[in-house]
Amino acid sequence: MSHSFRSHVRPPTSSHQRGVAAIEFALVFMLLFLVMYALATFGAAFYTQQAVSRAAEDGARAATLLPQPPDPNSVREAVFDSLARSLIVPASANTDTASRKFWISANVTVAPCVAAAGATSCKVTVSYPYVNNRILPTMPLLDTSRWMPDELRSSATAALKTS
């Protein structure tokens, strides 16, 4: 009796195994792709935040090196120069340094220090509209607007030379 039972059970075929492997691959690949996309998106936002922070620091540094009280336009130019050396400008405005600086001056808000004579410190604030200028495109499946900032902001304060 046990012999006749074995004759009705067929061993799994290789085509059946290939179908299961394809389904497993599709599920694992989708999960892996989402994790990699999330890491790349976070990395791009982190890079942009670092570029904005560095630009604020460069503006504050320029304020300490300029004749006192520092000229706000010179501080703003130092910030724009710093941002123009980074990769945050979209490809459409990334042909040369002048076009990068033009795009940055039109899209990035800089609040340079306005220090009166005898001031001891100056604060430079840079705001970058990340919601309009993401480095990586968004995916319809993932709504990054819920967990990514709309604006990246950084400030740096510098001690000014006193006479």
Of 148, 157, 144, nearest in space to 129 by CA: 148
The alpha-carbon radius of gyration of the chain (Å, integer) is 28
Instruction: Provide mean pLDDT across the span 114-118.
Output: 64
- pLDDT tens across 31-52, in order? 898 889 888 888 988 999 999 9
Domain assignment present for residue 4? The answer is no
Place of tokens 């940055």: 104
Domain assignment present for residue 1? The answer is no
Domain assignment present for residue 2? The answer is no
Number of domains comprising the chain: 1
Domain assignment present for residue 7? The answer is no
Domain residue limits at 20: 13-159
Domain assignment present for residue 21? The answer is yes
- Residues whose CB falls within 8 Å of the CB of residue 66, separated by 6 or more in sequence, listed in order: 74, 75
Secondary element (H or E) of residue 127? strand 121-128
- pLDDT tens across 58-100, in order? 999 998 888 877 888 999 999 999 999 988 888 888 888 888 9
pTM (global) more than 0.75: yes
Domain assignment present for residue 69? The answer is yes
Domain assignment present for residue 54? The answer is yes
